[in-house]
Amino acid sequence: MSTNVPTVERARLARPTTRIRTIRTVLIVILVAVASIPLVALWKAFGPHTSFAPDFTLTDQDSRPFTLSAQRGRPVVLFFGYTHCPDACPTTLAHLAQAVRNPDVPRDVRIAFVTVDPFRDTPPVLKRYVRIFNPAFVGLTGTLNQLKPVYAAYDTWREPVPAIHGPDNYFMAHGTAIYYIGRDGALKGLGHWDDALAVIIHDLKGYQ
């Protein structure tokens, strides 16, 4: 018996069915669409995520290096501001100073004030400033090139406001988020400079 497949049958088998062609077309469309998405967007959507607070090394008020990852094991609060700030910075630091005295707040919490004005906020200036609120507070500075990656990593911003009474009397507009970092180094939550004292105490207790 001949095993040859009839010519018509061979032609039918050689052609993809309508269903297969449809599936192939859909797959091609999907691949083209995915290929048109920037790699960064794909990574953000589907790549592994980490909640760890971005690490950095800056200079503290005693001119010593301060590395965030070296603080693991204790809660850390970051706030960005500057010593000439007329409102948000002193208000926030005053509230934090009150909050850390609450008996329910962890005794080992570390408050770190990161300057957005490194040209005026030298270590001695920062030391005098943070001691007004709490001698245990840490003031952090560095060169602008050292600080810019930290601002970017924490999605904060700074913008000099043009001087009115001379080049050294400028203000700095800046982000006012409070960053709560847990003992494990993870970013636990965000607050805001005008949060009520009770809210800050609640966050300090919860974001460990």
**SS3 letters for 28-84?**
HHHHHHHHCCCHHHHHHHHCCCCCECCCCEEEECCCCEEEHHHHCCCCEEEEEECCC
Q: Which amino acid is at 145?
A: N
The string of pLDDT tens digits covering residues 10-45 is 333 344 444 444 444 433 333 333 333 343 343 334
The SS3 assignment for 129 reads: helix
Closest CA to 105 of 4, 205, 1: 205
**Which residues of the chain does CATH 3.40.30.10 include?**
57-206
Q: Which amino acid is at 11?
A: A
| pTM for the full predicted model | 0.74
Length of the chain: 208
Supply φ then ψ for residue 106, to 5 degrees.
Answer: -55, 135
Please say whether the structural domain 57-206 has been given the CATH code 3.90.228.20: no
Q: In the Cβ-directed half-sphere of 21, how many Cα atoms lie within 13 Å? A: 5
Cβ proximity of 157 and 114 under 8 Å: no
The string of pLDDT tens digits covering residues 167-197 is 677 899 999 999 999 999 999 999 999 999 9
The string of pLDDT tens digits covering residues 83-140 is 999 999 999 999 999 999 999 999 999 999 999 999 999 999 999 999 999 999 999 9
